[in-house]
Structure 1
Amino acid sequence: MAQNGKGALLSLLAFGIYATSDALVKQLGEDYSPFQLIFFSTLFSFPLAMGMVMSDSRPGTLRPVHPGWIALRSASTVICGLSAFYAFSVLPLAQVYALAFAQPLLITLLAIPVLGEKVGLRRALAVVAGLAGVMVVLRPGSAELGLGHLAALSAAVFGAVASIIVRKVGSEERPVVLLLYPMFANLAVTSLVLPSVYIPLEAEHLGLIAIQACLGWVAGVVIIAAYKAGVAVVVAPMQYVQILFAAFYGYLLFGETIDGTTAIGAGIIIASGLYIVLREDTPGASANQPVLSTRMRPETGTAPRPYALQRILGLRTRGDFRGLAPGE
């Protein structure tokens, strides 16, 4: 029990770090294009990535076992990252998180065709309720609905696609493939657009981008420690506290407040996601545990998935958070 408490606290710390990184994205997004931010964030991540790759002494190549799935994941990661960075730059932080929390619902749906998951009536109703919560946040027909909302939804959709692909083929791919291909894709796409959107970077902003890139890595290491200490059903729900960090940073740095409609919609989405997590932990309810074993973060490619870090570093956890059964 004490270890589970430690895992929960470490998870809170990790998601607080992620929220700090997102607040920096919003701050920088006021001056720079998402293409420029992702290009430099990925560039700053490369030395850390190379350090991880060099520490992996296991034989192998960078050729993926499942090139089609890896290509689709890389493309999804690029779209997810650009969408998330744009959404953070134009929407209140809490509103982006509220919509991003639809990702577990989408993973549940994608698990049916991709993993052969059998979703029972209870989880199906939770998905329907969660999607209704998304509609509450979006307020269709409202004059406030804009590209930022569509970008946040796009981040959730393509983040779910990237996550379910790792859930399907991740155990068969080398971790360096999972780590590097999205980063290469980010650089390839953003470098094509960069000349048309580039704005000279002030030294202070360059430093903030470097910090933002490093925070993703630090949070990933802390998440690994959290899952090493506690079981997944205790650690995974802590992701939802990100909306509290978002509310704090939004108010402190940007003068944002959460309106009642967003709060209600977010509450419905979070309740649905929590139910799905808890239901998947029930024996016999889920063969694949697609949500319980997946990190609920937009897949931006600027920092590694904790799963890839875990495998490269050769660490073991009490509960898997990507896709292998515990102990596999």
Structure 2
Amino acid sequence: MENPTKGILLLLAATLCFCISDVMAKILGAELPVIEIGWFRYLTSVVMVVAVGLRRGDLRLRVNKPGTQLVRGVMMVTSMLAFVAALRFLPIADAAAVGFVSPLLITALSVPMLGEVVGIRRWTAIAVGFAGVLIVIRPGGSTFHPAAFLVLASSLTWSVASILTRRLSGLDNPAATMLWTALVGLGVLTVVVPFNFVMPSPGYFALNIAMGAVATIGQYWMVLAYRHAGAALLAPFSYVQLLWATIFGFFIFATLPDTMTLLGAAIITASGLYTVHRERVRARARAV
């Protein structure tokens, strides 16, 4: 049964979890390799997903599209690694702002990957959104850092994973998809982590586990949110993560986005919201 208010609250809680996880990853990145941070995150996720699945008697590994699940898992872990690597060098709010180009990329990628038709209005919104990205990262400017391209790479791979999620919807159980995501990520990183492992202190070990737990809880709450409310309703509220990122950036890292970053973030947000609006209009037109 749909409960829009509950869905919105769950999504807001999920965005808070994602931001807290990013803060922890940024702190960990000052001392530990990115591969190791990712490995701990996926290890924790596997343990939690398996534990919950066993408790509920709903532990599912069999899927209809294992190849698609594998590619999706690789895209997800690549996205996570690129974003965590970028957090070493970028203020958390700047990284979050650029990261929100994902909805625009998903719209663009839906053309070749899903065969959807995107009209001139949404293509214009995509172009304007990328102009906002350029305002945030300012290539060639004194504040530019190449790590911004890592965020773009993270957004691109996340967008591909999101498109694949659409393909899997209705074919594979969401719990099975979540387990596959965790297992693929853990499997990939387990191969390479021995070459990058640094023994963490007890404090950093605990922080790694906490980061993985918070991120997994956020993913779970996000799934629940979309069960209680539609994507068109929830999409605007996902941008609250930019607010969380700004608040945490100020109080924990003593950083605030400058005027140009705020302008670029506003343009990216407006473009994303307009794209959501146009998709809602098209959905209504098809339903008539």
TM score, norm. by length of structure 2: 0.89
Q: Residue 45 of structure 1: CA displacement?
A: 1.8
Q: Residue 225 of structure 1: CA displacement?
A: 4.6
Instruction: Give the alignment of 1:26-45 within 5 angstroms.
Output: 26-45=26-45
Cα distance change on mapping 1:59 and 1:143 into 2, 3 Å: closer
Between the aligned partners of 2:59 and 2:32, the Cα distance in structure 1 is 41
Indicate the residue corresponding to 1:310 in structure 2: none
Cα deviation, 1:244-301, whole Å, max 9, x if unaligned, reads 111111111111110112111111100000111122112546879xxxxxxxxxxxxx
Between the aligned partners of 2:61 and 2:44, the Cα distance in structure 1 is 24
Indicate the residue corresponding to 2:50 in structure 1: 50
Indicate the residue corresponding to 1:21 in structure 2: 21
Indicate the residue corresponding to 2:134 in structure 1: 135
Do residues 210 (structure 1) and 201 (structure 2) align?
no
Letter in 2 for 1:154: A
Between the aligned partners of 2:130 and 2:77, the Cα distance in structure 1 is 24
Between the aligned partners of 2:157 and 2:20, the Cα distance in structure 1 is 22
Count of aligned positions:
285
Do residues 238 (structure 1) and 237 (structure 2) align?
yes
In percent, how many aligned pairs have the same letter?
31
Gaps of at least 5 residues in structure 1 are 289-328
Letter in 2 for 1:173: D
Q: Residue 76 of structure 1: CA displacement?
A: 1.1
Indicate the residue corresponding to 1:247 in structure 2: 246
Between the aligned partners of 1:284 and 1:234, the Cα distance in structure 2 is 13
Cα deviation, 1:91-142, whole Å, max 9, x if unaligned, reads 1001111111000011001111221111112111111111111111121222
Letter in 1 for 2:25: V
The alignment partner of 1:251 has SS state of helix
Between the aligned partners of 2:271 and 2:74, the Cα distance in structure 1 is 28
Cα distance change on mapping 1:140 and 1:192 into 2, 3 Å: same
> For structure 1, which segment, 275-284 or 89-98, has the greater mean C-alpha deviation from structure 2 after superposition?
275-284
Between the aligned partners of 2:220 and 2:35, the Cα distance in structure 1 is 26
Between the aligned partners of 1:101 and 1:68, the Cα distance in structure 2 is 28
Do residues 79 (structure 1) and 75 (structure 2) align?
no
Cα deviation, 1:185-225, whole Å, max 9, x if unaligned, reads 32233223323322211111111111111112322343345
Cα deviation, 1:217-240, whole Å, max 9, x if unaligned, reads 322343345445544333221110
Cα distance change on mapping 1:59 and 1:219 into 2, 3 Å: closer
Indicate the residue corresponding to 1:304 in structure 2: none
Report the aligned-residue RMSD.
Answer: 2.4
Between the aligned partners of 2:8 and 2:197, the Cα distance in structure 1 is 41
Between the aligned partners of 1:31 and 1:90, the Cα distance in structure 2 is 13
Instruction: Give the alignment of 1:116-265 within 5 angstroms.
Output: 116-265=115-264
Cα deviation, 1:62-84, whole Å, max 9, x if unaligned, reads 3x433432232122112111101
Cα distance change on mapping 1:91 and 1:60 into 2, 3 Å: closer
Between the aligned partners of 2:200 and 2:54, the Cα distance in structure 1 is 31
Cα distance change on mapping 1:287 and 1:252 into 2, 3 Å: farther
Between the aligned partners of 2:120 and 2:6, the Cα distance in structure 1 is 34
Letter in 2 for 1:49: V
Between the aligned partners of 2:285 and 2:197, the Cα distance in structure 1 is 47
Letter in 1 for 2:18: Y
Cα distance change on mapping 1:132 and 1:217 into 2, 3 Å: same
Between the aligned partners of 1:52 and 1:287, the Cα distance in structure 2 is 39
Cα distance change on mapping 1:275 and 1:208 into 2, 3 Å: same
The answer as to whether partners of 2:60 and 2:175 remain within 8 angstroms in 1 is no
The alignment partner of 2:170 has SS state of helix
The alignment partner of 1:171 has SS state of coil
Instruction: Give the alignment of 1:266-277 within 5 angstroms.
Output: 266-277=265-276
Higher relative contact order (CA 8 A, sep 6+): 2
> For structure 1, which segment, 105-114 or 204-213, has the greater mean C-alpha deviation from structure 2 after superposition?
204-213
The answer as to whether partners of 1:12 and 1:239 remain within 8 angstroms in 2 is yes
Between the aligned partners of 2:47 and 2:152, the Cα distance in structure 1 is 31
Letter in 2 for 1:26: K
Gaps of at least 5 residues in structure 2 are none
> For structure 1, which segment, 49-58 or 102-111, has the greater mean C-alpha deviation from structure 2 after superposition?
49-58
Indicate the residue corresponding to 1:296 in structure 2: none
